[in-house]
């Protein structure tokens, strides 16, 4: 009996050991089986990438703001501020001109700095970008656009642009040349590029790091003998730096390159502007390149970039970067109407107010937020009149001095 119990116990132990061995074998086979979580991780990574991608839906050089739409959530649009400290990068991470950033492009944004501006804006390398597309077929009924032998889906969120203006799919002509941007098999944006030409800079050494103004709406930082794409048309092009500068008129033809010899615009130098500030604000303090200047007293200011700061008790203080390029200018400071300021601020997350202006042949100009007159030389404004918190530093693009002290608001 005792021997039978021993055998029985031994048999149970052997069975248990066999079951344990089977379990071990199953565990050893497990790594070789298909694991669904691996795909889930890939999907999560892909979703994270799409969440980082933003489509430009507005790029306002006058207000120095950029509005972007999340590709992951097309209803989510945010407007950010940028300035001269913001780095504009191509998809390889190299510096490029802000003029290369247009509506419909997909970008990745850097951090927002303590001055409430973007540290960087980079063209994304996570999307495909087909330029000069002329071999295509649009099937509106099936929401499909075929490029060559490949088919791509047109989504509800797909946007269409021509010359910076949003259009519809029906507005695209079969003869148009397109630029198409997409992710995987989906189309993000379509831009009609017909009607564009190129500006090619030459002899840019004196102006590297300064700004070039093309008409009233395009501002580009000169990085060398670069080439930029602009809509066809005739433009007044202005440059100024370190006492040199000037303005010339150039015509850009469709699909052609127009060369600009900056030596022809440099002129004799160093040139100076006879500049005078006037103000109706009591005890306003104006600093040019960190040196306080007297209100009503004419001074000579060298062509190029200058730092301008304005302070007044009870009003917002700010600092801007100015570009001076006219022979003389008188700046008159008038406070903006409080209701106008509030309405304009509510329309922009950058707290910027619009500055609509016009020039006459004498160089006089006016805006809804202040009057500035120039006794000689034409002046134009391509910068934003912005209000900000006290002691906040802001940067502005301006040709000559105009409409820029009028941003002091209570």
* Residue 53 near residue 123 (C-beta atoms within 8 A): no
Write down the pLDDT at residue 403: 37
State whether 205 and 237 are in the same domain: yes
| Residues 165-203 pLDDT 10s | 899 999 898 888 999 999 999 999 999 987 778 999 999
Q: Which residues of the chain have pLDDT under 70?
A: 1-51, 332-410
State whether 187 and 200 are in the same domain: no
State whether 173 and 276 are in the same domain: no
Write down the pLDDT at residue 295: 86
Write down the pLDDT at residue 331: 72
Write down the pLDDT at residue 308: 82
Question: Which residue blocks in 174-297 are alpha helix, DSSP H?
Answer: 262-266
State whether 73 and 89 are in the same domain: yes
Picking from 123, 154, 183, the residue at the C-terminal end of a domain is 123
Q: State how many domains the chain has.
A: 4
Q: Which residues contact 403 (CB under 8 A, 6 or more apart)?
A: 355, 357, 365, 367, 369, 370, 372, 381, 385
Helix (H) / strand (E) containing 165: strand 165-167
Residue 18 lies in a domain: no
State whether 70 and 187 are in the same domain: no
Residue range of the domain that includes 62: 50-123
DSSP 50: H
Residue 91 lies in a domain: yes
State whether 311 and 375 are in the same domain: yes
Write down the pLDDT at residue 361: 27
| Residues 223-238 pLDDT 10s | 999 998 888 889 999 9
Q: What is the CATH number of the domain that holds 99?
A: 2.40.50.320
Picking from 157, 192, 227, the residue at the C-terminal end of a domain is 192
Write down the pLDDT at residue 130: 95
Picking from 192, 216, 242, the residue at the C-terminal end of a domain is 192
Q: What is the CATH number of the domain that holds 235?
A: 2.60.40.1120
With a pLDDT cut of 70, the percent of the chain lying above it is: 68
* Residue 167 near residue 199 (C-beta atoms within 8 A): no
State whether 175 and 188 are in the same domain: yes
* Residue 399 near residue 380 (C-beta atoms within 8 A): yes
Task: Tell me how far CA of residue 201 lies from CA of 84, 227, 228, 294, in angstroms.
Answer: 21, 6, 9, 39
In 177-325, the DSSP E strands lie at 178-183, 186-192, 196-202, 211-214, 218-221, 227-231, 233-241, 244-252, 257-261, 272-279, 285-288, 291-293, 299-302, 304-311, 318-324
In Å, how far from its chain's centre is CA 271? Answer: 31
The token duo for 28 is: 């050893």
């Amino acid at each position: 009996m005792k021997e039978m119990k021993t055998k029985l116990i031994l048999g149970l132990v052997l069975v248990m050991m066999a079951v344990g061995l089977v379990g071990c074998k199953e565990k050893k086979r497990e790594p070789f089986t298909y694991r669904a979580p691996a795909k889930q991780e890939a999907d999560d990574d892909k979703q994270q990438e799409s969440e980082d991608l933003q489509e430009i839906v507005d790029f306002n050089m006058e207000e120095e703001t950029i509005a972007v739409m999340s590709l992951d959530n097309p209803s989510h649009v945010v407007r950010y501020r940028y300035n001269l400290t913001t780095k504009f990068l191509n998809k390889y991470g190299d510096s490029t001109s802000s003029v290369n950033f247009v509506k419909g492009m997909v970008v990745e944004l850097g951090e927002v700095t303590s001055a409430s501006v973007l540290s960087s804006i980079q063209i994304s390398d996570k999307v495909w970008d087909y330029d000069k597309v002329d071999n295509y077929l649009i099937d509106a009924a099936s929401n499909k656009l075929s490029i060559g032998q490949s088919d791509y889906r047109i989504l509800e969120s797909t946007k269409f642009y021509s010359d910076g203006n949003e259009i519809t799919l029906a507005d695209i002509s079969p003869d148009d040349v397109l630029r198409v941007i997409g992710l995987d098999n989906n189309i993000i944006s379509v831009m009609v590029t017909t009607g564009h030409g190129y500006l090619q800079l030459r002899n840019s050494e004196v102006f590297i790091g300064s700004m070039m103004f093309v008409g009233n709406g395009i501002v580009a930082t000169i990085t060398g003998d670069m080439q930029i794409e602009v809509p066809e048309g005739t433009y007044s092009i202005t440059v100024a730096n370190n006492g040199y500068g000037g303005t010339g008129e150039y015509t850009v033809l469709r699909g052609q390159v127009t060369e600009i010899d900056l030596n022809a615009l440099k002129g004799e130098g160093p040139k100076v502007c006879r500049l005078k500030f006037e103000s109706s604000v009591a005890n306003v303090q104006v600093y040019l390149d960190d040196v306080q200047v007297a209100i009503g007293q004419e001074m000579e200011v060298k062509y190029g970039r200058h730092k301008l700061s304005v302070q007044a008790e009870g009003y917002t203080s700010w600092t801007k970067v100015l570009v001076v390029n006219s022979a003389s200018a008188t700046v008159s400071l008038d406070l903006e109407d409080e209701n106008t300021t509030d309405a304009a601020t509510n329309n922009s997350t950058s707290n910027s107010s619009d500055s609509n202006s016009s020039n006459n042949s004498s160089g006089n100009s006016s805006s809804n937020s202040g009057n500035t007159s120039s006794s000689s030389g034409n002046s134009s404004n391509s910068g934003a009149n912005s209000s900000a918190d006290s002691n906040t530093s802001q940067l502005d693009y301006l040709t000559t001095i105009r409409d820029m002290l009028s941003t002091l608001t209570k």
